[in-house]
Amino acid sequence: MTLSPLIERFIRYARIETTSSDTTGTSPSTACQHDLARLLAQELRDMGASDVLYDDVHCYVYAQIPGEGQPLGFIAHMDTSPAASGRNVSPRILPAYDGTDALLRPEDFPELRSHFGEDLIASDGTTLLGADDKAGVAEIMEMARYYLEHPEVPHRALSICFTPDEEVGQGTDHFDPDAFRAREAYTVDGGKLGVFEYECFNAAAAEVSVQGRSVHPGSAKGLMKNAATLAMEFDRLLPAAERPEYTEGREGFFMLTEIRGETDTAHLSYIVRDHDRDRFEARKETLRRVANYMNEEHGEGTISLTITDSYRNMAEYMRDHMDLVDKAFEAARAIGVTPSCEPVRGGTDGARLAEVYGIPCPNLCTGGYNFHGRYEYASIQEMEKSLQILLHIAQAC
């Protein structure tokens, strides 16, 4: 099967290990991400992009494509999730997929039925594929190449940025808005063709410390306060059905992410999520009320609660910039794809860029699926159409 330049490019990038890490504490979190960053910077220079800037300390790549008007930004992340191995990725092409692959079985992933007849790309089953987000990286690179080779086709000035460490929540830590230049942008880090995203969770983290009273069990009556038991009580007082495993769509949740403790002290960590701002505030209030109730029941100072906001729903920043979403919808319709918007049940780098730098940043589709694991795959036809959507968006002045 002859591969298009986009797919060849994607496979080349997928083979380069760029797994990020949430334990090293460095920036970038892993040195291997530089291998892809260096290559992308060189390829952008070879294509003739302007002002290619490779931040070789923090591993960001910026480039400009000359065109009309204020620059429109496109962002993708170079790292892959530490949740699965990204070493020696060996992409497999499944031409005219018919459901018979041993790894990608429609019984396990019903979505695959909608891809019968398409050409898919999968890993060999020992690693993730890395379509998240090298599909986005490859699509942006092909868009850049197209407009550099066709300056006669009218298009916006384009600003490109490739970031490290998105998967470990540090993708924008050393982002340089001056090097980026664009004041409105898209992340190209979504999945299914035609699905765009501009709503994400409001997010907070809650840390609960439980102070018990440790007494010899033989003489503990009326004296012992078992911190580990009280920690379990705290968790039981939260709404049982409002956990990630029972919620979907725009439903928020409390999630216990860590528990440790003994008689003397115990500690609980939660994340709190809700798309709706008022319901988000109400969730934080619920945590405070549980803490207050337990302090009344078991004595002041039993529970100490710290709540820290993590990020905000990007929709709040998008209100005055819905033309970006309209443009994506128009671009999809122009190539015969029915567009839709779905709320992200997570955060995005775009949410941070909107909050910190005031850069509204909806998320575009890439054609990749089943991110962060061995069953990740991409549809070649959907990747090609995602590229067409980028080209149309860049064209619309």
217 upstream amide cis, omega within 30 of 0: no
The catalytically annotated residue of 43, 79, 197, 349 is: 79
The vertex-173 CA angle with 70 and 21, nearest 5°, equals: 130
Near Zn ion in 204-263, by CB under 5 A: none
In the complex with Zn ion, which residue's Cβ is closer, 83 or 153? 83
Q: Which of 237, 235, 215 is nearest to 225 (CA)?
A: 215
Q: Which of 209, 206, 210, 354 is nearest to 280 (CA)?
A: 206
Select the span of 56-64, 90-98, 188-196, 236-244 touching Zn ion (CB under 5 A): 188-196
Shortest distance, CB of residue 241 to Zn ion, whole angstroms? 29
Shortest distance, CB of residue 132 to Zn ion, whole angstroms? 4
In the complex with Zn ion, which residue's Cβ is closer, 136 or 360? 136
Shortest distance, CB of residue 171 to Zn ion, whole angstroms? 9
Report if residue 165 touches Zn ion, rule: CB under 5 A: no
Per CB under 5 A, the list member of 17, 189, 197, 242 interacting with Zn ion is 189
In the complex with Zn ion, which residue's Cβ is closer, 6 or 131? 131
Count of residues engaged in binding Zn ion, rule: CB under 5 A: 3
The catalytically annotated residue of 17, 133, 142, 166 is: 166
In the complex with Zn ion, which residue's Cβ is closer, 130 or 212? 130
Residue 79 is a catalytic residue: yes
Select the span of 154-162, 189-197, 219-227, 229-237 touching Zn ion (CB under 5 A): 189-197
DSSP class per residue in 218-263: GG-TTT-B-HHHHHHHHHHTS-TT-SGGG--TT--EEEEEEEEE-S
SS3 for 57?
coil
The site map against Zn ion for 121-160 (x = CB under 5 A) is -----------xx---------------------------
Shortest distance, CB of residue 190 to Zn ion, whole angstroms? 8
In the complex with Zn ion, which residue's Cβ is closer, 72 or 78? 78
Residue 197 is a catalytic residue: no
Let me know: does 209 contact 301? Beta carbons within 8 Å: no
Cα(16)–Cα(121) distance, integer angstroms: 16
The vertex-343 CA angle with 341 and 348, nearest 5°, equals: 110
- Residue 202's alpha-carbon distances to 243, 281, 314, 389, in angstroms, are 15, 9, 8, 29
Shortest distance, CB of residue 178 to Zn ion, whole angstroms? 25
- DSSP structure class, residue 19: B
Shortest distance, CB of residue 172 to Zn ion, whole angstroms? 13
Q: Which of 171, 137, 163, 140 is nearest to 348 (CA)?
A: 171
Cα of first residue to Cα of last residue in the chain, in angstroms, is 37
In the complex with Zn ion, which residue's Cβ is closer, 119 or 132? 132
Which positions touch Zn ion (CB under 5 A)? Answer: 132-133, 189
- Catalytic residue list: 79, 166
